Structure 1
Amino acid sequence: MGCCRPCKARRPAHRPAVHPLSPGHGLEPTNRLAAASAVGANAARRGGQQQDLGTRRQWCPVSLVVPVALSRSGRTETLTRPTSHQRQRTRPPPQGQPTDLTTENASSNRMRDLNYQLKQLCHRNRDGSFATQRDRERVLDLVANQLQEAGFRHLGATSLKPEHVDGLVARWQAEGLAIGTIKNRRAELRWWAEKIGKSNVIARDNHHYGIGNRQHVTNVSKARELQFSELSRMNDQYSAMSMRLQAAFGLRREESIKIRPEWAERGNILALKDTWTKGGRTREVPVCNAEQRQLLDEAKALAGRGSLIPADKTYAEQLRRFEHQCASAGIHRVHGFRHQYAQVRYRELTGWAAPAAGQCCELKPDHPLKAKRG
């Protein structure tokens, strides 16, 4: 006969009664009252919504602040709408127009946008060598700053106008910059105008801006000879060899550092790669005398099968080291060695000194150079 009541063996084990946590359980005594009030207010609000669902909720004019005990530390949340003065916005003046100094702070970010947009324009259009790209980016950054100083606000990369170009050229002329410097900066402005499809913004003729012609021939010599005392003050043998190659072959600074002497020597010529030269154009330099050949042998012994960049350095690091060595030795204007080489070659080819050295002569009709031109 079955038992009407479960036997003790089948009865579940006794479990302690679980009581629901009261509001504010686990909080400090000072915060329990605030927690209980917040829970009660939320329950009353939910009850009101169930009784009258058709009533539209309105925003309370007083901010409902969540108690500190229930919110995240260091933060207070409000449920109010933004006030009218927070929604007010000042309308900016027309784009590219000069403004007074009262809008200086408001427009500084937009002017930084112009610098950023021009920088991005340079990065998307990598025309020319690395040095050309670097110089272009620096000039355009200077242009953006000078437009800001002139009072032009809210400019973008596509906001270039003729009045901007006129103002910049007038400023450069007032600063007394060289004609070549002004033309170089104007060339960067023309590049900017072409990239944004506004080539007509800049006049085609330099005379429109009152820019004269460059003086390519001068009687002032920029040549300089390398002195042994200067060379002895350089304690880096790679930098010293690059300096000697500049003086002997008229190499540029980058060419004298990147050159691989064993590869470049081709009998009576010194072949220069396009990755070493300015503008990426290969060229050849003649080897004319025994001093040059001896210097090449010393360079090959120092560099081996590589270049005049040490194995543990990059080109940028060696370039900085070369500049530091020149400054320590008191050698400035190293491009003057290239001028000196050009004047020596001019004398070897013509028989007289170059015009920059103070002499100017007419070629005779039977001169080889005159016949070659004719």
Structure 2
Amino acid sequence: MAKISNIFKEEPKKAELHPRRVTRWIHYTKLTDNPAQYRYGKTAEEKEALKESVRQKEEALADLIEADGEVLQDLLVRKINTDEYEIIAGHHRKNACRILVEERGLEQYAMLPCIVKEFSDIRAQFSCYSSNGYAKKTEYEIMCELEGMSHLLRTYPEEFPNLPSGRLADKLAAQLQMSKSTIGEYRTIANNLGEKGMQAFQSGNLKKSAAVEMATLPEEEQEELLEKGITNHKEIKRYKKTREEAKEVPNFETAPCIRFDTEEECNNFLDNYRSWQVWDRNKLTGETCYRCEIGKGTAIILREYKWTSFQKESYACDYFLWQPEMHFFRDASCMREDLIKQLLKEQS
């Protein structure tokens, strides 16, 4: 006879190794696009340029879904309102079903199979980039994906505790199984290629190797090369070699020193940062870095970025004091007040 103590003894539960996924059927009109989705283009001009090719892809996908008789792969979504869901993965599938329903009169495709997951805004944006990795991408789309992901990893590291620690390039390389040098090339394009160059890169008229070479030139020279029809990697490299041979490299060690006698002078100088040299620009994230050499190899670097507070958009700044003995950019970071004290201390 079984003991009474054994009857009421709870059996140990095995830990679930994988999260449970339940398919829910959601009407396509309840699904909204993710703002981070770049494959339709990020600006109005880009969307218009890609409109025809996107339409062709979605019509072809609609044909396949109709042939299969169903959507074979669940969409990944998150709930953002009482009866509204934001797509993480499955934008083309949703639009293909819209074509089937609205243009072909096939109402049976109005309900889409979806997996609903809880995501923070940051993780939803990151997953939108990472889930695009399963389809063939253009070089321009790869660049958009990398730059968007790098911005999130750099700005919100606490959201990604499972990624390996270390430099940003290492993290992206681990996440995407791509070499660090390749990632560096795409980031060079994203941060430095001008508007016209980016349009040529998006359309495929400017290949990746040529875009990397062109991105190291000032935007005016990029436009000049494009106007002349110079989009070949070797031709751009040849132009750069000729340019560098004639260029006089400035010596920052012997640059004239900028002196500040009062705190007010320092504040006025920092407030007028937009008159400094533009050192780096990230067009996808809206960040701009300004740099000013103040003598003896020392420079002030200011990073400007957009900041939204109480639904109002403004600009905020980070400050960096770069000195000759520094080996890492993070070592230069400081508060504005500390920067002013340091400037006055060194020049007193």
What TM-score comes out, normalization by structure 2 length?
0.24
Task: Identify which of structures 1 and 2 has the higher relative contact order when contacts are C-alpha pairs closer than 8 Å and 6+ apart.
Answer: 1
More strand by share: 2
State the structure with more CA Rg. 1
What TM-score comes out, normalization by structure 1 length?
0.23
